[in-house]
Amino acid sequence: MPPLLQLNRIAKSFGPVKALRDVSFELRAGEIHALAGENGAGKSTTMKIVDGILQPDAGEIRVDGQRRRIRSPLEAQALGIGFVHQEIALCPDVSVAENIFMSATATQRGLMNFAALERKAKAVLAELCDVDPAATVGSLSISNQQLVEIAKALTLDARILILDEPTSALTETETEKLFRIVHRLRERGLGIIHISHRMAEIFEHCDRVTVFRDGEYVTCLDIPETTPQEVVNNMVGREISHLYPAKATQAPGKPLLEVEGVSCDVLSDVSLTLREGEILGLGGLIGAGRSELAKAICGLRRSSKTVRLMGEPVDIPDFSAALERGMVYVSEDRKGEGLFLDMPISQNVSSLRLSQVTKGGLVDRAAETAQAETLGRRLRLKAGKPEDPPSTLSGGNQQKVALARMLSVNPKVVFLDEPTRGVDVGAKSEIHAILRELCEQGVGVVVISSELPELIGLSDRIVVLHEGEITGELGPDEMTEEAIIHLASGLHIQGDAA
């Protein structure tokens, strides 16, 4: 019997960036196949090609042994491919039933029969979860929204189910529930592709694992015959310790930033001290309140707090006050919050403190260009001209523009939210080196990262959050993925209560 799905030597570029160089993959019926690789390894791009969202530049796709071109998600559906996206792709204002049968509705003629729709939805949902088909999707928890996505895929007679990091936003119990369902689907003969960073999950639930690195296929291993260490080594391709700059050699200095009692809608009474010459990592699951904490401290989010900067109490009601004190927040969302994608690089760089390149109320464009060039050179920014917009750059170089913006104000304390998300491996280690250099110059660096190896490799100390509270702090000797996950999932709190 031919494999359910086969990818042979797929390549894909976005402009100058080669996202996939040479990717192959095979999925059998009745297996849970993990797809592992660092961020930017090409997992999501590959799956988007399978789902017809993207078209490959080269290579072939076979479904049931037959060569296919998948030109759209609709064609993917017809071939039995169901995709549960990392960012949930449902309509939040519409009912669960209508979401599940969205594509059927799109081709339906005449009037809608909502009662029948809800009945059918109830039948599909019965084996998955206890969700009211009439409820709007936006009112459901993230985990239930994911289950609705799975239900949607099942109604389309999916034989191939792609789960793109489905557990990244789930609690431990929700994760278990999800996998019980996934195992049941495997017994029905579905082939399931599970994209995940979490070794524990892969080794507990999957049958095989394929590893990608830098857009290339590395290996495919049978789970019973391999170890997490082997998988991680394949993902990284070298010893992890070489990837990251050396840690702080000196003991951390005096407190640079002391924050006490940060409270807002999603944070309760968080206190934090950042010392001179250290990189502080903030760990936790998505939704734990890491970004919110950084934003609250920088005045980008309303909160009650007391802040001391180098021993002096300071009042930070909004971000311009933070900027004046030399505190900068670099957003995780470059497109949405971080950059002016269609404006010149030079104008992006100058935007945090325009007064630096302003004379008599007018922008001195020569000074503005010179500033961008100086900082661009320092960060090894690969860009055409300072007048080009960041939209023409790769993710790594866009992030360098964001860093140039940050450096333009000579900051004292910087908060970097997912500083290497969507950044290729080369630029990533450059960014790490820059952060360490800053830290050695006496700048306080706080890094938020969902990528545990990065958090461990970069930080001198890690503080972990869970549901808006600090659940623990890890020194250099205590940093392990297990320890962070343990604190991030709030397990020790449940343990204490028992």
Partner 1 sequence: MSETSLPGGMTETRAPGALRKLAGMREMGLLCIILALCVVMSFASPYFLTWSNFRTIFLSFSIEGIVVIGMTVLLIVGGLDLSVGSVVCLAMVVAGKLFLLGVDPWLASAAGVGAAAAVGAAMGLFVVRVGLSHFIASLAAMVIVRGLCLLITKGTPLSLFSLPPEFKFVGQGSLGGLPVVVLIFVVLAVVFDFLLRRSAKFRTIFYTGSNEKAAEYSGIRTKRVIFWVTVLCSTLTGLAGVIFMARFGSATPQFGVGMELNVIAAAVIGGASLKGGQGSIFGAVLGVALLSLVTSSLILLDVSVYMQDMIKGFILLAAVSFDHLMNKRGKRG
- Comparing CB distances to partner 1, the nearer of 101 and 329 is 329
Nearer to partner 1, 80 or 390 (CB): 390
Q: Which residue has the tokens 């930017």?
A: 40
Assess 431 for contact with partner 1 (CB under 8 A): no
229 phi and psi angles, rounded to 5 deg:
-60, -40
Q: Binding to partner 1 by residue 323, rule CB under 8 A?
A: yes
Cβ 293 to partner 1, closest distance in Å?
16
Minimum distance of partner 1 from residue 362's CB (angstroms)? 5
Opening angle at CA 408, ends 464 and 372, nearest 5: 125
Shortest Å distance, C-beta 333 to partner 1: 8
Strands of 237-340, DSSP E:
255-263, 270-275, 279-283, 304-309, 312-314, 327-330
Q: Of the two residues 378 and 486, which places its CB atom closer to partner 1 in the complex?
A: 378
Q: How many whole angstroms separate alpha carbon 487 and alpha carbon 485?
A: 5
Of 204 and 318, nearer to partner 1 (C-beta) is 318
Mask: binding to partner 1, 343-372, rule CB under 8 A, as x and -? x-x-x---xx-xx--x--xxx-x------x
- Bridge partners (DSSP) of residue 7 are 25, 61
Judged by CB, which is closer to partner 1: 194, or 325? 325
- What gap in Å lies between CA 404 and CA 269, rounded to an integer? 33
Interface residues for partner 1 in 375-414 (CB under 8 A)? 376-377, 380-387, 391-392, 405
- The end-to-end CA distance of the chain, in Å, is 51
Of the CA atoms within 13 Å of residue 36, those in its CB half-sphere come to 32
Phi, psi of 472 (to 5 degrees): 170, 170
Q: Is the dihedral of CA 293, 299, 300, 303 positive or negative?
A: positive
Q: By C-beta, is 321 or 493 nearer to partner 1?
A: 321
Residue 66 as a binder of partner 1 (CB under 8 A): the answer is no
Q: Which is nearer to partner 1, 220 or 363 (CB)?
A: 363
Site string for partner 1, 279-318 (x = CB under 8 A): ---------------------x-----------------x
CA 137 to chain centre: 23
Which position among 8, 308, 319, 367 is part of the footprint of partner 1 (CB under 8 A)?
319
CA–CA distance from 413 to each of 100, 257, 276, 352 (Å)?
A: 47, 8, 10, 15
Nearer to partner 1, 186 or 295 (CB): 295
- Please report how close the Cβ of residue 324 comes to partner 1 at its closest, in angstroms: 8
Q: Which residue matches tokens 């949930």?
A: 88
**320 binds partner 1 per the rule CB under 8 A:** yes
Give the number of residues in contact with partner 1, rule: CB under 8 A. Answer: 44
The site string for partner 1 over 325-344 (x = CB under 8 A, - otherwise) reads: ----x-x----xxxxxxxx-
- Neighbouring-strand partners of residue 358: 363
Angle CA(46)–CA(48)–CA(53) in degrees, nearest 5?
A: 140
Q: How far is the CB of 317 from partner 1 (least distance, A)?
A: 12
Half-sphere exposure (Cβ direction) of 314: Cα atoms closer than 13 Å: 24
Residue with Cβ nearer partner 1 (67 or 385): 385
Cβ 183 to partner 1 shortest distance, Å = 41
Q: Compute the distance between CA of residue 134 and CA of residue 487 in angstroms, rounded to an integer.
A: 36
Q: CA geometry: angle at 423 spanning 421 and 426, to 5°?
A: 140
Contact pattern for partner 1 over residues 8 through 47, marking x by CB under 8 A = -------xx-------------------------------
For the bound state, the minimum distance from the C-beta of residue 309 to partner 1, rounded and expressed in Å, comes to 17
460: CB partners within 8 A, 6+ apart:
247, 248, 252, 278, 279, 280, 476
CB of 351 to partner 1, least distance (A): 5
The C-alpha atoms of residue 418 and residue 152 are separated, in whole angstroms, by 31
Contact residues: partner 1, CB under 8 A: 15-16, 300, 318-320, 322-323, 329, 331, 336-343, 345, 347, 351-352, 354-355, 358, 361-363, 365, 372-373, 376-377, 380-387, 391-392, 405
